[in-house]
A and B are shown apart, each in its own frame.
Chain A
Amino acid sequence: MAWTVEVFQDQVQLMTDHKGLASKTITWVNRTIAEIVCKDYWLKQINTISTGGASQVTTVTSQWFTDTQMQSLNPIDMQRIDYSTTAALWRQPVQDFYANFHGLNASHTVGNYKNFCIPQWTSYVSGTNQYLLPRLAVYPITGTGTTDLTGAYLAAPDKFDETTDSNWITNQYPQVVLAGVLRRAFLYIGDSQRYLIWKARFENGVKDMILSEQTSVAATPHLRGILPEEVQRGGPE
């Protein structure tokens, strides 16, 4: 059985003894999931995207991945860019990205891509919807452009629009989501005591989620600094 929005609506009504919170509950579930996502990142949320063809860029804020590709991906952050099958570009802060060129004869040379950064995010409008998508800069700006670029990015889950919606977070950690929603519900009602109780449950639940994810095989050890025991000791000899 999936832990859908409807389940949380039922629980909120029962726990708060308030009817009429159903429409607010779907917003609260969405916001709670966004909070959980901001508190931790997991490999499960890292997806990849490919240019799908040669890409030779001539402007410094180029977009290798099309807006149409990106709009449904909910990128939070671009983690890495791979060039061909072996090379990963080095990500730099924007000012270092540019400053590093100084001393390289300050000139551009045609060659394989080496560094990338995200100098800005820009709006993209599709119909009545608007999105913010990362623009990417790469050095050299004119690459040989014969190989696909692949990006690995952190993705936010799709927001819920229907009461039948669910995702892996609600299905695997329904009680944590419920606690996050109920703390919002009790703040709305103005019951600060029960708000604090559910807030504590939410915070502790998130910590347990993080532990659970980190100890799973699919966790991203380097993102959280938690590694298997033998690696923490210095790695297998």
Chain B
Amino acid sequence: MAGNPISLVSALAEEVADTLRHDNLDTRIHQWIGLAFNDMVDRSPIELFQEATVVTVADGDSSVAFTTDITTPMGATFVDANSKLYVASYVSSTDFSRLTAIGAAITASTMPLYWTIKQDGTTQKLFISPPASGAIVATVFWAGKYLSTSPGGSDKLDLPYHFEHVLVWGAAALGAMAVRPSLHPLFQAEYEQALGDMQQIVSYHPDATPVRRSITGVHAGSRKMQAPPRFPQNIS
């Protein structure tokens, strides 16, 4: 007994098959695991399912392309070559366009004041204003560690061992609809309860602060609590 390593998907699949008492489920059981995982990610407001990416805005540039899809942005920090930290305000892409149109007062600054994420053609980009004075390293955080494909047996999911039971209940609930339909409500109830317990973890923080509120905007793809606007809406 030392440490709780993450289980292989094949081990989880075997457990789900055992739970359903059904051995001949092949890769469909992996699909149930993938579907249940994404459901957990979408419904659990904990840092566990947040991601971060680091991009560099080159000297004089105001944008940089992401290499990964930012689903639901939550925040960003900007650091210069001297490790000096700047925290710009997020604005919607519409407000960002207004701000850059205003121009003069903002460009007087040498630090990033505002940022947004928007499509530039087919490319998703980070925009900052004013443009970078010296290279600026941006760390962008977003919510939603979704699986884009069904996991393979040799994969390990980004889920700690102590939450795997939630996933097993979720996958079994999906599978029960096919192979043990009469027991499906029982499996589904177990899943919902386990997921509810997991969600409650946010309320056990010492300060009981809600952890996950999405930033609004066209890239806010899921239904999270809306963060308040941090920039006046009546710009003139």
| B165: interface (CB < 8 Å) | yes
Considering only CB atoms, which chain B residue lies closest to A139 in the complex?
B85
Q: Count CB-based A-B contacts (< 8 Å).
A: 185
Whether B163 and A34, one on each chain, are in contact in the complex, defined by CB atoms closer than 8 angstroms, is yes
Q: Residue of A at shortest CB range from B112?
A: A106
* B2 contacts partner chain A, Cβ-Cβ < 8 Å: yes
Residues of B contacting A159 in the complex (Cβ-Cβ under 8 angstroms) = 1, 4, 161
Of B13-21, B29-37, B57-65, B124-132, the one with at least 4 CB within 8 A of chain A: B13-21
B51, B75, B159, B180: which contacts A95 (Cβ < 8 A)? B75
Docked complex Cα distance between A117 and B76 (Å): 13
| Bound CA–CA A121/B5 (angstroms) | 14
Asked if B186 contacts A195 (CB within 8 A), the reply is yes
Whether A38 lies near B197 (C-beta < 8 A) is yes
Q: Which residues of A lie under 8 Å from residue B187 when comparing CB positions?
A: 187
Q: Among B76, B89, B162, B215, point to the contact of A34 (Cβ < 8 A).
A: B162
Q: How far is the CA of A80 from the CA of B190 in the complex (A)?
A: 31
Give A94-118 as 1s and 0s: 1 = Cβ < 8 Å from B's Cβ atoms. Answer: 1111111110001110000000011
Find out whether the CB atom of B3 lies under 8 angstroms from the CB atom of A72.
yes
For A141, give the chain B residue with the smallest CB separation. B85
Q: Is the CB of B165 within 8 A of A35?
A: yes
Q: Which residues of A contact B207 (CB under 8 A)?
A: 90-91
Chain A interfacial positions (CB closer than 8 Å to B): 24, 27, 31, 34-35, 37-39, 41, 58-61, 71-74, 76-77, 79-80, 90-102, 106-108, 117-121, 123, 129-132, 134, 139-142, 154, 156, 158-162, 165, 184, 187-190, 192, 195-196, 222-223
Judge whether B165 and A77 touch: CB under 8 Å.
no
Q: How far is the CB of B186 from chain A (nearest CB, A)?
A: 6
Chain B residues, CB < 8 A from A107:
84-86, 111
Chain B residues numbered 48-107 whose CB sits less than 8 Å from any CB in chain A: 48, 50-52, 74-77, 79, 83-89
How many whole Å from B153's CB to the nearest CB in chain A? 15
Contact of A134 among B47, B89, B197, B213 (CB under 8 A): B47
Of the residues B139, B161, B211, contact of A93 by C-beta under 8 Å: B211
Would you call B3 and A121 a contact (CB within 8 A)? Answer: no
Please, which residues of chain B bring their CB within 8 A of the CB of A39? 197
Q: How many residues of B contact A (CB 8 A)?
A: 65
Contacts of B227 in A (CB 8 A): 95
CB distance from B24 to the nearest CB of A (A): 17
B156, CB-defined interface residue at 8 Å: yes
Q: Is B41 an interface residue (CB 8 A)?
A: no
Q: How far, in angstroms, from A41 to B205 measured CA to CA in the complex?
A: 11
Distance between Cα atoms of A67 and B188 in the complex (Å): 36
Given A38-B194, A130-B6, A222-B206, are A106 and B88 also a contact pair (CB < 8 Å)?
yes
Name the distance in Å between B75's Cβ and chain A's nearest Cβ: 4
Evaluate contact between A91 and B206: CB separation under 8 angstroms: yes
Judge whether B21 and A190 touch: CB under 8 Å.
yes
B162 near A38: Cβ-Cβ < 8 Å:
yes
- Does B204 lie within 8 Å of A61, measured CB to CB? no
A58-B83, A195-B186 are contacts. A94–B2 as well, Cβ < 8 Å? Answer: no
Q: Which of B3, B15, B139, B206 lies in contact with A129, CB distance below 8 A?
A: B3
Interface check B221, CB cutoff 8 A: no
Given A34-B163, A106-B111, A154-B204, check contact A119 B47 (CB 8 Å).
yes
Interface pair A95/B162, CB less than 8 Å apart: no
Pick from A60, A100, A108, A129 the residue with the most CB of B within 10 Å: A60
Q: Is the CB of B3 within 8 A of A71?
A: yes
Question: In residues 142-196 of chain B, which contact A (Cβ within 8 Å)?
Answer: 156, 158-166, 168, 180, 182-183, 186-187, 190, 194
Residues of B within 8 Å of A165, CB to CB, are 1
Given the interface pairs A34-B161, A80-B206, the reply to whether A74 lies near B3 with Cβ below 8 Å is yes
Q: How far is the CB of B90 from chain A (nearest CB, A)?
A: 8
Closest to B199 in A: A38
A and B contact pairs by CB, cutoff 8 A, 10 listed: A60-B79, A60-B139, A91-B205, A92-B209, A93-B210, A98-B75, A100-B87, A154-B204, A158-B4, A223-B204
Q: Are A94 and B204 in contact (CB under 8 A)?
A: no
On whether the beta carbons of B2 and A158 are closer than 8 Å, the reply is yes
Given contacts A60-B85, A74-B161, A132-B158, 7 further A-B contacts (CB under 8 A): A79-B206, A102-B87, A106-B113, A108-B83, A130-B156, A132-B159, A187-B19
Closest chain A residue to B210, Cβ basis: A93
Let me know if B3 and A120 touch, CB within 8 A: no
